[in-house]
Amino acid sequence: MDCIRILIADDQTITRSGLQTMLAEHQDMQVIGEARDGAEVVELAASLQPDVILMDVRMPGINGIEATRRIHRTSPHIRILVLTVFDDDTLVFPVIRAGASGYLLKNTEQDELLRAIRTVANGGAIFSPGIAQKVLGYLNAPQPNAPKESFDELTAREREILELIAQGKTNAEIATTLNLSSKTVSNYISNVLLKLHATDRAKLMLMALEHGLGQANKL
């Protein structure tokens, strides 16, 4: 690959500008576009067909997880490298499941970021050290047990909420999606935790992902 064509997706102008300036110094990289939110990055990915997308997770409207899922479904050849301040389990696993090839924190050193871009552009995968440990820990740990693969103990609404949790949505995003109050969503999640014997939200998410939830591809 002679020149890596890069699309930057971040809702912070100063972050996009900083990345643009840094990448412009390297002849094997070219920034071909910038997106301010999830909807814009999905649109630009389709029209520009970049080699790599630097994807923030928390953006207005469509979040980075859902944007990654949509782009990966329609253009699986586009490599997505998540660049975020969050190292939360409830974001790491859904975005990897959605199709991201890497996950770095924004405090990553410049040389490491450049290496990561080149790695994913050439078909590899790369993660910040702490993220890599989480992934390896998940792969090596005994898988959580659900009462049944179909989660029959859950009501239709509880299963719907579990699906959205597996997609990496926050309580506020779930509330907006289902037209519920945040308190109601919290109550539903508490019930799901009890029914599935999960000790926290991260374990609940892993359980859901393990059983095939979180794969919605709705536009």
Q: Where are the domains of the chain?
A: 4-139, 156-210
Structure tokens at 131: 């993220």
Average pLDDT of span 45-66: 93
Distance CA 203, CA 76 (A): 28
> What CATH topology corresponds to 156-210?
Arc Repressor Mutant, subunit A (1.10.10)
Q: Token digits for 70?
A: 């949509």
CATH topology of domain 4-139: Rossmann fold (3.40.50)
> Fold identical between 4-139 and 156-210?
no
Q: Would the pLDDT of 142 be above 70?
A: no
pLDDT band at 139 (very low <50, low <70, confident <90, very high): low
Output the average pLDDT for the chain.
84
* Residues 3-9, mean pLDDT to the nearest whole number: 96
Phi, psi of 22 (to 5 degrees): -65, -45
Instruction: Judge whether 117 and 80 are in contact, CB under 8 Å.
Output: no
* 0.75 exceeded by pTM: no
SS3 content of the chain, % helix, strand, coil (to 5): 50, 15, 35
Give a three-class secondary structure readout of 70-89: HHHHHCCCCEEEEEECCCCH
User: Which pLDDT value is given to residue 43?
Assistant: 96
pLDDT tens-digit series, residues 59-116: 988 899 899 989 998 998 999 999 988 877 667 778 887 888 889 989 889 999 999 9
pLDDT-based confidence at residue 23 (cuts at 50, 70, 90): very high
Instruction: Pull the structure tokens for residue 53.
Output: 């997308």
Q: Distance (Å, rounded) from C-alpha 219 to C-alpha 203?
A: 28
